[in-house]
Amino acid sequence: MPDLQQLRAEAEAAIGAAERASELEDLRVRYLGRKSELTQTLRSIGELPPEQRGPVGKQANEVRRALEALLGRRTAELEAAELDRRLAEDRVDITLPGDPPLPAGHLHLVSQIRRRMEDIFLGLGFSVVEGPEVEYEYYNFTALNHPPEHPARLPQDTFYLAERVLLRTHTSPMQIRAMELQQPPIYIVVPGRVYRPDTPDATHVPMFHQLEGLAVDEDITLADLQGCLLQFARQMFGEDTKVRLRPGYFPFTEPSVEVDVSCFRCGGSGFVADERCPTCKGEGWIEILGSGMVDPNVLDYVAANGYDNERVQGFAWGMGIERIAMLVYEVPDLRMLFENDLRLLDQFGAGP
Ligand code: DAH
């Protein structure tokens, strides 16, 4: 016959010292389970002498109830403490920065270059304007002095949307639109998308970006064109850059010139460490744009708005933004600028 009071004291001490709900489960089995001393005692009461059965049974049941109550209280206490602990541990401070902090991201290379170009020409006194990508044949070709039989008008070279409506093949139509809206003098640059039915390869894609420029004023000469583009080239490619004009042909300029800049990679020597310079292919010069003096025939289309070709002259140019981005960032294939592979884009993350 176990000493029930001693058993009770021992069990109460163990329950009081338990620190986890799982320990309490073990103690419940140990003191109240089927094989516990207490249960065995209650089961074998019938074997006791009759005068002991009442008092022992009563005492054993008392101990049982006391231990059950204590286990219940202790379980509730520990569960509450456990919940408090988890809540404290799992607390998230939503005012902290994310971990790891997300990179801020940056503009696409083409946008970075476009913005740099805009900034340079803003500094030279030009305004930035934009125009429609869906354009009339009139603005894209006719008013830019393309004769009706000019091959660029053919559907092989131009996406037509309707009879006289097309996707602009260059940003030049904005020359006419801007002059219709604003009397001389005018100094504008026009960035934007242009479209041509080209099969994609390393240097062609059917949609790309140009930046057009137009300056019309009194006493404008080819020297102004050269000086303006020299300033641009120095700021874009480096202070030592030179520019070179070569004769060219465009229907809307007369004379027309192709503009080259001295190679910013090899300094114009054509060599990098005794090897042929990969940027200018050993030429020392890189063609960057088409340009010229605005053809008087073009001014005639806007003569009614003050563009008297006896009184004002102008120069204009158009350059490919992707082409400049490829040169500056040494991107070998034009298509890479449209694939949006983050491995390429992240190499040039330090942009505005
Ligand atoms: N629009 C021409 C092209 O896409 C580029 C160009 C050449 C623009 C001469 C001009 C210019 O304004 O004067 O090839």
Residue 352 pLDDT > 60: no
139 — pLDDT class (breaks 50, 70, 90): very high
Q: How confident is the model at residue 1, as a pLDDT?
A: 65
Distance 102 CA to ligand 1 centre (A): 42
State pLDDT tens for residues 66-113.
Answer: 889 999 999 998 889 888 988 888 888 778 777 777 777 889 999 999
The SS3 of residue 98 is: coil
Question: Two tokens at 215?
Answer: 């300056």
- The C-alpha atoms of residue 345 and residue 347 are separated, in whole angstroms, by 5
Ligand 1 atom nearest to CA at 169? 4
- Kindly state the average pLDDT of the residues 237-250: 97
Residue of 170, 207, 224, 229 best suited for mutating to test ligand 1, as the one with most atoms within 8 Å of CB: 170
In this prediction, what percent of the chain has a pLDDT beyond 90? 70
42-74 pLDDT, tens digit each: 888 888 888 888 888 898 889 899 889 999 999
- Given this model, what pLDDT does residue 239 score? 96
φ, ψ dihedrals at 298, nearest 5°:
-70, -45
Q: Flag whether pLDDT at 198 surpasses 60.
A: yes
Distance in angstroms (rounded) separating the CA atoms of residues 253 and 314: 9
Site residues for ligand 1, CB cut-off 6 Å: 170, 172, 212, 250, 253, 290-292, 316-318
Nearest alpha-carbon partner for 41 in 3, 10, 14? 3
Choose between 192 and 346: higher pLDDT. Answer: 192
Compare 45 and 140 and report the one with higher pLDDT. Answer: 140
Report the pLDDT value the prediction gives residue 351, as an integer from 0 to 100: 47
CB atoms within 10 A of CB 228: 22
Return the residue whose CA atom lies nearest to atom 12 of ligand 1.
317
pLDDT average, residue stretch 23-47: 89
**What is the spatial distance between Cα 290 and Cα 220, in angstroms, rounded to a whole number?**
18
Q: Give me ligand 1 centre to Cα 194, in Å.
A: 12
For ligand 1, atom 6, name the residue with the nearest CA. 318
Give the chain's mean pLDDT.
93
Higher pLDDT, 3 or 124: 124
pTM of the model: 0.73
Cite the DSSP H helix spans in 133-262: 137-140, 173-181, 222-237
pLDDT of residue 57: 86
Find the mean pLDDT for residues 281-301.
Answer: 97
